[in-house]
Amino acid sequence: MLASFDCAGDESLLEGAAKCGLHLFSNCQRGECGSCKVRIKSGQIKLEPFMLSALSMAEIDADYTLACRSFPRTELVIVAETVGSTQARHYPRPA
């Protein structure tokens, strides 16, 4: 699936995608689980603090980042493994 979305500089990639109706897979949304990992094909981001258990230095060197902790600094091209419509996903609330 090829999709594009607008993302303001003060929005994470995860927030920007969701605002435009795209679901990038995520879980903790705090840089702790690694489930929102995406690959930056081109462009620059600002990466906010995260747990090294969620994203290793080797993954950073291979251009991976965490969508929940990444803020765009330029136009970006990213590769996300799991994308869909936010309206098509229904998750049960934690008890």
* 35 contacts ligand FES (rule: CB under 6 A): yes
Residue 16 found at the interface with ligand FES (CB under 6 A): no
Nearest distance in Å: CB 69, ligand FES: 6
Which of 17, 36, 76, 78 binds ligand FES (CB under 6 A)? It is 36
Task: Provide φ and ψ at 64, rounded to 5°.
Answer: -90, 155
CB of 25 to ligand FES, least distance (A): 8
Please report whether residue 83 would count as binding ligand FES according to CB under 6 A: no
Q: Can you tell me the distance from the alpha carbon of 7 to that of 87, in angstroms, rounded to the nearest whole number?
A: 19
Residue 29 as a binder of ligand FES (CB under 6 A): the answer is: yes
Distance CA 54, CA 34 (A): 4
44-83 in b/e form (b: 16+ CB < 10 A) is ebeeeebeeebbeeebeeeebbbbbbbbbeeebebebeeb
Contact residues: ligand FES, CB under 6 A: 26-29, 31-36, 54, 66, 68
